[in-house]
Amino acid sequence: MSTLLPFKAVRPVADKVALVTCRNYDDYSPAELAAWLNFNPYSFLHVINPAYMYAQKITLDKRFKGVAHKYQDFKEDGIFVSEDTPALYLYEIQTKNQTFTGIVGGTLIEEYKKEVIKKHEDTLQYRVELFKDYLHQTGFNTEPVLITYPDRETLNSWIDQKKQEAPLYHFSTTNKEKHTLWRIDHPEEIQWIQTQFEAIPELYIADGHHRSASAELLYDEVGDEHHPNVNAFMSFLIAESNVKIYEFNRIIRDLNGHSREAFLEALEAHFILKPKGQELWKPQDKFEFGMYLDGNFYALFYKQEHPNAGLLENLDAQILYDYVLHPILGIEDLRNDERIEYLPGKQSLLTLKELVDEGEFEVGFMLYPSDIAEIKALADQKLIMPPKSTYIEPKFRSGLLVYEL
């Protein structure tokens, strides 16, 4: 059984919502970040990055306190308003190629602990503790955990009907997306939605593993006696057929001392190589890999020497690590080795090609994206995917809804 909780959100006033909300902080280059902060006094970037020009010169403690103070300034200046009653929200994101729609509410940490809410990625303890301290000192979170649930026709039909009503917000952003938000505050409607989720035995985290782990750690430390909302974390729940899963491609700075010829020969132990020349070739199926090396593309077909291997061993990202990145290129730590970087599969192959051609990187690898069934199967068996195995959309706008602790 899955529990969905309404909450009293803090949100931008309607006439400023397009100015306040922003992409994830990490999505901005330093120059882009500076431009937005200089140009737009309402941007939520001012809250999450206070005194940005001096951010590297202050302690994390002072920075977190600065976030809390700036957030209060936004509330006192009337940029944010607080809901009087708990509510759920229906949120739609229209991109150029796809429309995503999901429900925003609170999910219980106790259900996360009991693995009613399942995960498929590992976390770094220092990042978990860092964000836990951020939550504790700022007292809010505005980036929900992205959670998928099995498609339910009753929920799909309700969503279609709800979209016919007048929204709370409807706005466009400079990255050419359209965003629409509906408030769900009638008790009968909330109860009906909760009943729908109570019939779902398990939920799966798609994105936000560190956020959920940090929320759990904070709950374990402070309890909910003086922090009534700390027993849950804000989540964006979306039907599994509506998520978009991309791969993460890999680019490597050197061949670990191998010549081009020796490297290609080493690959042939586990892969069939087919030169593709200047063709921008991408994998078409599982067990296929693309490679860009020395101005040429290659198709690599895994020989599947162990067809009955387990789920993790048959995961493409794991295969690349087990047979190429670790034994040949000497990359052991996929998270921290400075010789490897990652590019979301939604980016053009030309970006990967240009980075290699410019000389900073020696070789690039393209993967075939995992699907939701593979992710769920791994989570069900408590298996952990390698770092940067999936890039999953949709991405929530920061500052759209604030969950106060």
124, burial (CB in 10 Å: exposed 0-12, middle 13-18, buried 19+): middle
Range from 19-28, 116-125, 392-401 that averages highest in pLDDT: 392-401
User: Is 248-368 in the same CATH topology as 10-245+393-404?
Assistant: no
| Better pLDDT: 201 or 336 | 201
The arithmetic mean of pLDDT across residues 75-84, rounded, is 97
What topology does CATH give the domain 248-368? 3.30.1760
Q: Are residues 285 and 368 in contact, defined by beta-carbon separation less than 8 angstroms?
A: yes
Protein fold of 10-245+393-404: 3.90.1530
Residue-wise pLDDT tens digits, 318-346: 999 999 999 999 999 998 899 999 999 99
How far is Cα 291 from Cα 283, in angstroms, rounded to an integer?
Answer: 10
* CB crowding 202-227: b at 16 or more within 10 Å, else e: bbbbbbbbbbbbbbbbbbeeeeeeeb
Place of tokens 């309890």: 223
Query: What is this structure's pTM?
Result: 0.92
> Quick check: 261 pLDDT over 60?
yes
C-alpha to C-alpha distance for 223 and 353, rounded to whole angstroms: 50
Q: Which residues contact 10 (CB under 8 A, 6 or more apart)?
A: 75, 80, 81, 82, 83, 140, 401, 402, 404
pLDDT at residue 55, rounded to an integer: 52
pLDDT of 56: 58
Give me the pLDDT at residue 307, please. 73
Percent of the residues in the chain that have a pLDDT greater than 70, as a whole number: 98
Confidence band of 57 (pLDDT split at 50, 70, 90): low
- Count CB-CB contacts under 10 A for residue 161: 9
Q: What is the mean pLDDT of the chain?
A: 94
Reported confidence tier of residue 252, pLDDT bands at 50, 70, 90: very high
Residue 136's CB is within 10 A of a number of other CB atoms, namely 17
Average pLDDT over residues 81-93: 97
Instruction: For residues 296 and 113, give the distance between their C-alpha atoms in angstroms, rounded to a whole number.
Output: 48
Residue 201 pLDDT class (50, 70, 90 cuts): very high
| CA atoms of 190 and 117, how far apart (whole Å) | 20
CB 397 within 8 A of CB 4: no
Question: Which DSSP helix (H) or strand (E) runs through 48?
Answer: helix 45-48
What is the b/e burial string over 48-66, where b = at least 16 CB atoms within 10 angstroms of the residue's CB? bbbebeeeeeeeeeebbeb
Residue type, 129: E
C-alpha separations of 181 from 17, 19, 162, 172, 226 in Å: 11, 15, 10, 12, 31
Confidence of residue 304 (pLDDT cuts 50, 70, 90): confident
pLDDT, one tens digit per residue, over 9-55 is 999 999 999 999 999 888 888 888 888 889 999 999 999 887 655 55
Q: Following DSSP, what letter does each residue of 159-176 receive, concatenated?
A: HHHHTTSPPSEEEE-TTS
Q: Residue 228 has what pLDDT?
A: 80
Q: Which two tokens stand for residue 293?
A: 């090396």
Cβ 316 vs Cβ 286: under 8 Å: yes
pLDDT of 61 reads 85
Domain edges within the chain: 10-245+393-404, 248-368
90 pLDDT exceeds 70?
yes
**Whether residue 94 has pLDDT greater than 70:** yes
Percent of the chain residues past pLDDT 90, beyond the cut: 85
